[in-house]
Each structure stands twice: as C-alpha cells, then as structure tokens.
Structure 1
Amino acid sequence: MRLVQISDAHLHAVIEARSRAGVPWRQFQQVLSAVKAEQPDIVIFTGDISQDESAASYSLAVQAMETLPCPWYWLPGNHDQLALMTAEHPLMGEVDVRPWRILLLNTQVEGKPFGKLGSEQLAKLQEQLEQDDRPTLIAMHHPPVDVGAVWMDAIGLQDRDAFWELISKYPQVNIILFGHVHQAYAEHHRLGENTIDVYGCPAMADQFLPGAEQFAIDEASRPGYRIVDLSWSELSGSEWQTWVERIE
C-alpha cells in the first residue's frame, strides 16, 4: 500500500498571494500533480492547510484534494481553524488499511505555535493501542522529537515525554509522521528494545533551513512530499520503505 504524506500548504483565500519564497497555491497545485503521478492508495495531509485562516482557503484546498485518485485525510496544524476545516471535510481519528492501521492525532493548541496532545487524547490513544495490535502508523502535526533547529524545537510537541512513555508499551507502533518543520527529517528513535521510525515532511510551501538557531527560509530547497510504501507478510511481519520527492 502506498501512502503519501503532504504538509504545510499555508494557503490564502487569494490564489495569487505570495509567501516568503513563492506562491502557495501554485506550489500546492504542483505538489498535488506530482502526488497523483505516484498512484497513492491514501494521502495524509499533516496540517497547516491555511495561512490566512479563511474559509475560502479551506474550500480551495478541498476542491483540489478531491481530484486525488484515492481517499485522503487531514489533521490541523497550529495555523489552522478547526471549525472551518471540519465544515469542509471531516477529521478522522483512525483509518483502517488492513493489515496496517493509521492513527491521526490532533496536536493543535489553539492560538499557540507549539503542540500538545493532552491527557484526554493520550488516554484515548492508549485505549486504541490496547484494543488492536496490528502494525500502526501515527500521524500528527507537531514533531515529537527535536529536529536540530533551536527555534523549531521550542515549538514542537510539549508533552512528548508522556507520549513516548505511552508508546514504549506498544511495540506495534512502527512509524510516526509529522509536519510543521517544513523540511525532510528521519530518525530511528530508540525505546528500550524497540525502534520507531520518525519522519518529517517537506512543506508544500516554503522550506525551513535545517539546523538554524533562528527562523530562516531554505531558498535552495523545493516543495515536496513523502512516500511511504507499507507491506506485511506472515514471514517478515511489517515492512516499509520511505523517501522524499520534490518538485522541480
């Protein structure tokens, strides 16, 4: 099964509006065109759909996403307006892609750049993992790890310690995808005897400079997306391959 992750489109109601290093609507269309050519089975949009928090920006996004040849799901980022999102397209907490399952977590803290799961959502996550031991991929907006950029690490997932403590009890969690960082990222995160692969995704809009102490745009990099090919067999169990593609 082929999953494609897209993230951080930062759309405006006005399609000609510019960002720091491009035109978000144009970049969004270019990325979606490339994603369609990958023949995905599912697309996950990991937040920051809108920049101006307008109803029109979400309407534009949904109109474009509906041209995908597969089911798609989204979750909010720190820039998003949850009510406007759900008015256009529902939020799902779980997607069944047997033999895998995908859990979509909302890390948004309204009005804040950082993220948090909170005790209620962590309790629900524990319940979900207790009930089903199939190979699991978790998607969220905020990174649950430091990515090496001082300013970005300060606005990641604030209750990550509680998250990792919970996850450490459930070896069926194989992969975590996140957005927010506007750059490719990969880490093999050790939890006792288990290893979880943690991946960040390029933005559909501007890219951020890796390793920067302060906010900085990576003008040499291009918008992109992440491909995750998931498989499972009786002999080898869960397997996956993942890589990042960028538009020209």
Structure 2
Amino acid sequence: MKIATFNINGIKARIDALTGWLTESQPDVACLQEIKSVDENFPRQHFEDMGYTVETHGQKSFNGVAILSRLPLEDVTRGLPGDDGDEQARWIEATVMGEKPIRVCGLYLPNGNPAPGPKYDYKLAWMKRLKARAQALLIAEEPAIMCGDYNIIPQDEDAARPEAWRDDALAMQPSREAFREILNLGFTDAFRARTQGPGHYTFWDYQANAFDRNDGIRIDHHLLTPQAADLLNDCWIEAAVRGREKPSDHVPIWIDLAA
C-alpha cells in the first residue's frame, strides 16, 4: 500500500497540478492538507471519477484536510479529540481496508507564528491533544500512521539554514520537544528510518528562488505505530513535484507498506 501526504496549498488553485500528480504517481491513499475549501465545494465528483473514495474535513478559505483512497474507507472521524470548541479543520482519520487494515490519520498541525503569542499557545495545546490521540493509537496495538504537515522542523539537519529558523515556531525548542515526546511514545519517523543526513526537504518558500537553491525544510512527516513500522518497505520525498507548473510550496512524501 502506497500512501502519500501532500499539502496542496488550495484545491481551487491546485486542482490541475493535483490531478496530474494523481494520474502519474497513482497513490493508493493521498492525505491532503490546506484544501482551503468547505466540504460542499470540494470537487469530490472529479476525484471519484478518477477512482478515489473522498472524505474531507473542510473550512472556508483556511486549513482543511482530506483523504483520497482507492481502497474502501471505514470509521471516518473528523476533528482532533480534546477540544470541542476548536473550529479549525486540521484532522481527519479513517481505516483503509487493504490486505491489512491501516488506521490513517491526516493532520495539518498549526503553524504557531508569531511566537510567542496566542497562535503559538494554540500550537502547543494542539500538540498536547495530538499526544493524547497518539497514546490511544498505541493502546489499540494496530497498524496506524499519523501523516501530514506537522509544521515542525525536528532537528537542525532538517533545514538548509537552521540559523534562520531559531526563533520561528517551527523550530523553537518547545515545538521540537513536543514532537519528540510523541516520537518517544513509540512512534517511528518513517523518513528517518530509511534516510539519514541533511539536505532532504518537503517545503521551499516561493520567494528568493528557494527551490532552485534547495533552501528548504523538512516539515511533512509520517509517524508510524510499531505495528505499522513493521510493515514499512520504504519512505521517500517526491521533490521534483516542486519544480512543476503552479506548484504547492510543499511536495508529497510517501510510504510503502506491506499491507
């Protein structure tokens, strides 16, 4: 089972690019972030005609997540537990019914800037709720992944210019510590399980020819429960997508599971 996570930066602006990528790359499951669309305006029929089951958790103009799957989806839930008053659409999960069922959680973690401030407080509070959901996934002792745009640069090697991010919410120490707390529960960072060293990024700013200079950061991640990690065949970043016409500022990152 090949699963990709991809922050598309707006379904309206990126539908042609997304369609071309889906046609060429053929993921079994695609978890999308920043669809920037309410559910009723998402082009569901377009992707259903391509053979995908479509589940969305949308929001007008901002945020929004979706799961597109060639395999059946069961037990779809929307919204990260722990705060009934949170109106931001940042979490969706479903069980993908492959040869081995996989619980797939797609997320768009808050950016948190400017930091310090209310937005950073929200980011850290959201990560506490994420940790609680991660603990519940571990207790279930089933294959599960949490994938998406984490807006976290885990280590300095995950940025081309780490010094430029020192005071940014994506790399501040509390952000990194919250991410490590989740990993230390027993999750595997799929990319780092397969590839070590600097120079591997999933996001490049639109400004200053960042992609051409490879001035990027790695902020899109697949975190796997032990049962999912046992199924991991490979993980890779599809960086070339960033060089295409009207690209997102993110690129897909893939896992291949024996499921």
Scaled by the length of structure 1, the TM-score of the pair is 0.53
Q: What amino acid is aligned across from residue 119 of structure 1 in structure 2?
A: K
- Contact preservation (8 Å) 2:107, 2:147: yes
Give the secondary-structure state (helix, strand or coil) at the position aligned to 1:120.
helix
In 2, Cα distance between the equivalents of 1:30 and 1:109? 24
Name 1:238's counterpart in structure 2.
232
Aligned to 1:208: 205
Question: Residues 58-83 of structure 1: CA distance to partner in whole angstroms, max 9, x if unpaired?
Answer: 82565654454223566789x82569
The answer on whether the counterparts of 1:103 and 1:139 sit within 8 Å (CA) in structure 2 is yes
Task: Give the secondary structure class of the aligned counterpart of 2:103.
Answer: strand
Give the C-alpha shift of residue 29 in structure 1.
0.8
In structure 2, relative to structure 1, the CA distance for the partners of 1:40 and 1:161 (3 Å cut) is same
Shift in CA distance, 109/240, structure 1 to aligned 2, threshold 3 Å = closer
**Residue 164 of structure 1 is aligned with which of 140, 165, 180?**
180
The TM-score, its normalising length taken from structure 2, stands at 0.51
Aligned length in residues: 189
1:5 & 1:169 partners in 2: Cα distance?
22
139-148 or 108-117: bigger deviation: 108-117
Q: CA RMSD in A?
A: 4.8
Q: What residue in structure 1 maps to residue 217 of structure 2?
A: none
Structure 1 residues 30 and 240: alpha-carbon distance in aligned structure 2, compared to 1, 3 A threshold: same
CA–CA distance in structure 1, aligned partners of residues 233 and 194 of structure 2: 16
Give the superposition deviation at 1:103: 2.8
What does 1:74-223 correspond to in 2, within 5 Å?
Answer: 80-81=62-63, 91-96=91-96, 98=100, 100-108=102-110, 115-116=123-124, 117-134=126-143, 136-141=144-149, 142-146=151-155, 147-148=158-159, 149=161, 150-151=163-164, 154-156=168-170, 158-170=174-186, 173-175=187-189, 187=192, 201-202=202-203, 207-208=204-205, 216-218=208-210, 220=212
Letter in 2 for 1:104: G
Task: Name the SS for the 2:92 alignment partner.
Answer: coil
Q: Corresponding residue for 1:36?
A: 23
Q: Answer yes or no: is the 8 Å Cα contact 2:7–2:148 preserved in 1.
A: no
Query: 5+ residue gaps in structure 1?
Result: 13-24, 177-185, 210-214, 231-235
1: CA distance between counterparts of 2:23 and 2:202?
17
Which structure has the highest helix share of the two?
Answer: 2
Percent of residue pairs identical:
11
Q: Which amino acid aligns with 1:137?
A: I
Inter-partner Cα distance in structure 1 for 2:47 and 2:106 = 18
Unaligned runs of 5+ in 2: 66-77, 80-86, 215-219, 225-229, 246-259
- Provide, for residues 12-49 of structure 1, a one-character-per-residue CA deviation record: whole Å limited to 9, x for no partner: 6xxxxxxxxxxxx2x5412321222322211111x233
Distance change (3 Å), C-alpha of 1:168 and 1:44 = same
